[in-house]
A and B are shown apart, each in its own frame.
Chain A
């Protein structure tokens, strides 16, 4: 597709429950990124993939967060045992496999996670 698709739009979980978010990158894009946007617009990088391989996971809280990009499936971000502080909008972005593609990182509409 021509747009990054994210589902669901909104997810409500009780503290301690699991949350799973999905992202379908633009067709032909090799790189997928997950960012977390908390209050006051703070954008935080979580993890990136090159196809199905983890490329950079320096932003991932290792204990409760995990992510996958499997062939022929949407990418997913899973949070085990959610905490109140995980409430945020999670954005997925994708970019093509080009050396000058830093300007071609396209964002999805986001999934708003509310932990109660």
Chain B
């Protein structure tokens, strides 16, 4: 079993829709949770991050963590065609910059006009 499970999609939605992206994980030591966005043929870029459980909002994006269920989510409101990308969840057990990230498989999102 993989440490982090993420539905690879693809997910296709109309412009303006609310998008929900999810990951589940098995390692209860994970405390630091990140969402990366990766455009085609580019490196991943950090989109959102949260520590432990709770919600975090940034503009049209909301990240949620439910540690009791080992489940994290990213919501995108009023989705735009420019949001079309692959979204990767990533996790770590500790905060130091020396820690490797454990990634999900990534979900491909297509937002059509």
Contact = CB atoms under 8 A, between A and B. Distances in A.
A3 B34 CA distance: 20
A106 B90 CA distance: 13
B42 A109 contact: yes
Contacts of B43: 4, 91, 93, 107-110
B95 A45 contact: no
Interface in A14-41: 30-31, 33, 35, 40-41
Interface stretch (A61-69, A70-78, A79-87, A94-102): A94-102
The range of chain B's interface size is 20 to 34
Interface residues of A, number: 34
Interface string B70-95: 00000000000000001010101011
B19 interface: no
A42 B101 contact: no
Given A91-B43, A91-B44, A103-B34, A40 B95 contact: no
A101 B105 contact: no
Contact of A41 (B8, B41, B101): B8
A48 interface: yes
A102 B94 contact: yes
Nearest to B102: A45
Nearest to A107: B43
- Among B32, B98, B103, B105, the most chain A Cβ lie within 10 Å of the Cβ of B98
Nearest to B43: A107
A95 B102 CA distance: 15
Contacts of A106: 46
Top 4 nearest A-B pairs (CB, nearest first) are A101-B97, A41-B106, A107-B43, A43-B103
Interface of B: 8, 32, 34, 38, 41-46, 49, 86, 88, 90, 92, 94-103, 105-106, 108
29 contacts: A4-B43, A33-B100, A33-B101, A35-B101, A35-B103, A40-B105, A41-B8, A41-B105, A43-B90, A45-B100, A45-B101, A48-B100, A50-B98, A59-B100, A91-B43, A95-B98, A96-B97, A100-B95, A100-B97, A101-B96, A102-B96, A103-B34, A103-B46, A104-B97, A105-B46, A105-B101, A107-B44, A107-B45, A108-B43
